[in-house]
């Protein structure tokens, strides 16, 4: 089975392809000739995943899936949430985003947070949603050089390392995206 993954993020493609069985091949946006930025104008994580999947299905006619992820911090009433990628501005710079978040939490004892990923799958004219959540806390400083985004400041529950200190395999087994992808894989296997 071939599915378009509606993302230009090569790190996400690598992470997800590694989790999928060999019977499912991911096709990139580049491979289908989609070079435009897909709008992410919804006010929820679910909404953005749906917008991206529908964009590819409607404009290009492919079965596809899209995800959207947000980091939700308890002490900040769920921020940055749907705005995680552009928390510190439209330049979408991970260091700027992490610095802004660390500053916002500087006087707050509650550092509980969760990553939430929603995958929208458009397959054979029907849409299916899968949600994965990874709970943890925001560290006091950046640690590690693996991963991307907020990984250097997110320490998952039950671990003494940040996501950025874990291998792709370790992270994939416990991450929000990993959990949502497991649901996607299970669904595709029983279809």
Q: List residues with catalytic annotation.
A: 68
- The 8-class DSSP code of residue 168 comes to H
Helix (H, G, I), strand (E, B) or coil at 83: coil
- Chain-centre distance of CA 131, in angstroms? 10
- DSSP symbols for 15-29: HHHHHS-TT-EEE-T
Ramachandran class of 180: left when φ > 0, alpha when ψ lies in -120 to 50, beta otherwise: alpha
- The 8-class DSSP code of residue 89 comes to -
CA dist., res. 144 & res. 5, Å (int) = 27
Q: What distances in angstroms separate CA 33 from CA 6, 20, 30, 191, one per listed residue?
A: 12, 23, 5, 28
């Amino acid at each position: 089975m071939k599915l378009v993954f509606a993302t230009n993020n090569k790190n996400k493609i690598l992470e997800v392809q590694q989790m999928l069985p060999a019977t499912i091949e991911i096709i990139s946006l580049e491979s289908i000739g989609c070079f435009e930025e897909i709008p992410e104008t919804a006010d929820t994580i679910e909404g953005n995943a749906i917008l991206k999947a529908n964009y590819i299905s409607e404009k290009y006619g492919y079965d596809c899936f899209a995800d959207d992820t947000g980091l939700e911090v308890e002490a900040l009433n769920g921020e940055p949430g749907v705005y995680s990628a552009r928390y510190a501005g439209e330049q979408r710079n991970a260091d700027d985003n992490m610095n802004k978040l660390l500053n916002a939490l500087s006087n707050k004892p509650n550092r509980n947070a969760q990553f939430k990923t929603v995958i929208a799958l458009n397959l054979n004219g029907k849409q299916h949603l899968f949600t994965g959540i990874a709970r943890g806390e925001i560290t006091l400083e950046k640690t590690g050089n693996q991963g991307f985004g907020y990984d250097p400041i997110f320490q998952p529950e039950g671990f003494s390392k940040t996501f950025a200190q874990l291998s792709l395999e370790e992270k994939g087994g416990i991450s929000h995206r990993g959990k949502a992808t497991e649901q996607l894989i299970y669904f595709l296997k029983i279809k």
